[in-house]
Structure 1
Amino acid sequence: MGRWAHTWTAAPQLTEPDNLPPAPYAGSRVMADATLRQTVRISAGGERIRLRFSNAFGTTPLALTRVTVALPSGGRAGVSAVVPGTVREVTFRGRASAAAPAGAQVVSDPVDFPLADGAVLAVTAYLAEGQAAGVTSHPGSRTTSHLAAGDRTGNADLADATPVEHWYFLSGVEVEPAAPVLALLGDSLTDGRGSTTNGHDRWPDLLFDRLGGFAAANQAIGGNRVLGDGLGPGALARLDRDVLALGGVRWLIVFEGVNDLGTAPADGQESVTADLIAAYGQIAVRAHAHDILVYGATLTPFGGHSYDDPRGRREAARQTVNTWIRTAGAFDAVIDFDRAVRDPADPRRLLAPYDGGDHLHLGPAGYRALAGAVPEHLL
């Protein structure tokens, strides 16, 4: 049997009410009798693909009535039209439909569908019954999806579709032959808040554009924390599902922890800092057991953001964490994102051209700086 690589991923989350689709696609059965067209930009290309749909947070089965793949019009993300003649049926054990039980996922049969490195793929699914409860999604898609009534999986154009800025159910695209996989465990800074919608300028995208030669599995969740649940389960809780269960992972970059510091009381930083450092060690130990090289990234500045308390206790905690990342030797290598984007004149703040506007998240120029800070020899 051939080996597969995850060339695109979206970490599953429970869909909060504000991130459910708009009417008429919400209600007692979400997306009932609806077609959902989503575009994703892969990293490493291949000759065959297969899809993964997640029902990780569903409390009822997720029934996929029909699924197709195609090339999007113009090769662009976020469009509702696909190139006529490129539509291919996706099957599951030879059948057009499949159901993922509550809490589970479903993997499609392989589809002969050659894709070049960095290509954009359109995935269209029809849900006749919809889902009653517990919709699984990835809200921080930075990519436009489209919803239309009825079974439109074979249609080239969904001109009357409703746009929505989320991914639903689709959690992975795999390619064969396999490339070595780089997994990324992070929060909104890796999920791409502040990047361009449909622009593919998150730092992992830009890193792939710069170096290539690997498949990128971006398993970041905006608002995520390492120690406890925030938006999505904490990194320690989701490490097995989101990283270790992926086939072919050779490297893991851990760039997460700012939300642990920022949401903890300012006068309780000593405790959370010690727990965060211990958690990094646990992530490294667990990944090393799977022969994965683990790279730790330093936490970037947040001076001027609400996380920045007047007495500077969270900034002091950030410095303590970064010193440990740089010097403790728990990681196989260190990627100094802090140094890459901080203001040399005021190191507790982001350099102004990199600041996405809230003094915590980056804009495209800042994400390009992060991508440029990853040493080529590490991959």
Structure 2
Amino acid sequence: MRRRSLLSLSGAAVPAALLGPATAASAHSRRWLHTWVAMPQLTEPGNLPPAPFTGASSVLVDTTLRQTVHVTAGGSRLRVRFSNAFGGAALPITQAAVALPAGGKAGVSAIVAGTSRPITFGGRASVVVPTGAHVVSDPIDLPVPAGANLTISTYLAAGQQTLNLTSHPGSRTTTYLLNGNFVPALDLSGAATVAHWYLISGVEILGDAPAIAIVGDSLTDGRGSTTDGNDRWPDQLFARRPHTAVLNQAAGGNRVLNDGLGPNVLARLDRDVLATSGVDRMLIFEGVNDIGTAPATVADQKQVVDDLLFAFEQVVLRAHARDITVYGATITPFGGNTGYDDPDGLREQSRQEINARIRRGRLFDEMADFDVAARDPAIPRQLNPAYDTGDHLHLNPTGYGALAAAVPLRWLS
């Protein structure tokens, strides 16, 4: 199943002269690539905007949303993607703008004067996003350095006439909501706040950086990380090499085989990896939710292990067909977790079996051993106490730093 990509598995790049004239030119050309993403999801009732921004049958009527995102690779021009993937009706965006946030900080309501740029769509200030679709804006001239925060303000006059709203609930970033059109405002004083992203799903830059998509669940989405801190493990991985686009395509509760919070990995692979501009490599760190939600019986656990191994093979086959290198990570411990740990240790046996297959190097092009990085050396079936949030499943920022440190930097070369 292994195959050689343009980046050799030893980490050495193939000289441009050996690629041929056309390939060598494209290897150094600038193109549109994603620098930030958020996996679109159907918003659960408890994550809908607070009153008065959610009504009986509509959301975000006469509402300004101000949201900040943390870009990775930088560039002088950018585009913004709005998603209506899970909307139950057309999404009418009346006005939008992008700016730099005050102090360069995440989760703030103020923007830097003179940095606001209108977002247009085919030269128009407004757009209607069809049900199930997304739209990409016109290019915007706004230099954004690598690792910067970016503010996106959006106004919906009529709102969306449905309660099926596209969002990313696990933003770990403060969003501001205010009735009325305040897209140009320098600050949104008196605005309501939530820690969710709504409607936005991507930012592209014009550049030549490599891009890696990370497919994961709540351990990658950052449960246990700091709100407005940008300290999930993909954030900390980017900080180790801040010239690579690191794209976090994770969602809490996500599974490989069956839908959970958001579509399963096999269903969303095309949208979140294969069709994401700029991606030439990916890392998958999933499986704990599949093991943990399968019944703790010998037959059920054998089935989930067999199905997971087949699913990983499918991910690799489909990605290789698009010349995308696939890295995998071992599943981290959950011993002591009240939901996933079982008295007979059957789920732990499944975790060990999956990890053994990953370590043998026959599933992915290369692997990172997150299990070793996160586990308690004295009790390997449990998380290191210094990394444990207390639920014996999720990590704190220090633990996420340990995962980031376990990724070979040559994967980002």
TM-score (norm 1): 0.99
Pairs within 5 Å for 1:284-363: 284-306=316-338, 307-363=340-396
**Residue in structure 2 matching 1:13, options 33, 37, 41:** 41
Letter aligned with residue 64 of structure 2:
T
Q: 1:129 aligns with which of 151, 158, 163?
A: 158
Counterpart Cα distance in 2 of 1:44 and 1:376: 16
Q: Decide which of 116, 125, 129 is 1:96's aligned counterpart.
A: 125
Query: Whole-Å Cα distance in 1 between the matches of residues 126 and 315 of structure 2?
Result: 37
**Corresponding residue number in structure 1 for 2:307:** 275
The aligned counterpart of 2:295 is: 265
* Aligned twin of 1:243: 273
Match 1:34 to one of 39, 59, 63? 63
Tell me what 1:378 maps to. 411
Q: Distance in 1 between matches of 2:76 and 2:139?
A: 10
Q: CA deviation at 1:213?
A: 2.3
CA contact (8 A) 2:40 2:166 kept: yes
Secondary structure (helix, strand or coil) at the match of 1:172 reads strand
Q: Please give the secondary structure, in 2, of the residue aligned with 1:295.
A: strand
Residue by residue over 1:268-312, the C-alpha shift from the partner in whole angstroms, topping out at 9 and shown as x without a partner, is: 111111000100000011001110100010000000102000110
Task: Provide the C-alpha distance between the structure 2 equivalents of 1:13 and 1:178, rounded to a whole number of angstroms.
Answer: 29
Q: Match for residue 200 of structure 1? A: 230
Name the structure 2 match of 1:190.
220
* In structure 1, C-alpha distance between the alignment counterparts of 2:389 and 2:37, rounded to whole Å: 24
- Describe the superposition over 1:157-208 as per-residue Cα deviations: whole angstroms up to 9, x where unpaired: 1011001110001000000123211000000000000000000100000000
Query: For residue 302 of structure 1, what is the amino acid of its counterpart?
Result: F
SS of the equivalent of 1:352 reads coil
2:137 pairs with 1:105: no
Q: How far has the Cα of 1:2 moved from its partner?
A: 5.4
Deviation at 1:5, TM superposition (A): 1.0
Answer whether contact 2:129 2:135 (CA < 8 A) is retained: yes
Corresponding residue for residue 7 of structure 2: none
* SS of structure 1 residue aligned to 2:305: helix
Superposed, 1:44-83 pairs within 5 Å as 44-83=73-112
Unaligned runs of 5+ in 1: none
**Contact persistence 1:29–1:129 (CA under 8 A):** no
- Give the secondary structure class of the aligned counterpart of 2:190: coil
CA displacement at 1:328 relative to structure 2: 4.5
Aligned to 2:371, the other structure's residue is in SS state: helix
Q: Considering only CA atoms, is the larger Rg found in Structure 1 or Structure 2?
A: 2
CA offsets per residue over residues 228-265 of structure 1, 9 Å max, x none? 00110101110001111011212100000000000010
Show structure 2 runs of 5+ residues with no match.
1-28
Amino acid at match of 1:339: V
Q: 1:224 aligns with which of 254, 260, 263?
A: 254
One-letter code aligned to 1:166: H
Q: Does 1:145 align with 2:171?
A: no
1:343 counterpart SS class: coil
CA contact (8 A) 2:146 2:243 kept: no
Deviates more, 1:210-219 or 1:19-28: 210-219
* Offset of residue 337 of structure 1: 0.3
The one-character-per-residue Cα deviations of 1:88-108 (angstroms, maximum 9, x if unpaired) are 111000000011100000100
| Contact residue 44 and residue 117 of structure 1 kept, 8 A | yes
* Cα-Cα RMSD: 0.9
Aligned partner letter, 2:344:
R
Residue identity opposite 2:349 in structure 1: A
Partners in 2 of 1:309 and 1:132 — Cα distance? 45
* Deviation of the 1:330 alpha carbon: 2.2
Equivalent in 185, 197, 201 of residue 171 of structure 1: 201
Matching residue's letter, 1:163: T
Name the SS for the 2:53 alignment partner: coil
**What is the SS of the residue equivalent to 1:354?**
coil
Aligned-partner Cα distance in 2 for 1:256–1:46: 31
Residue-by-residue CA offset, 1:45-85 (whole Å, 9 max, x unaligned): 00001000000001211111000011111110111111111
Matched residue of 1:353: which SS?
coil
- The alignment-based identity, stated in percent, is 61
Secondary structure, aligned partner of 1:126: strand
1:180 and 2:210 are equivalent in the alignment: yes
CA contact (8 A) 1:46 1:178 kept: no
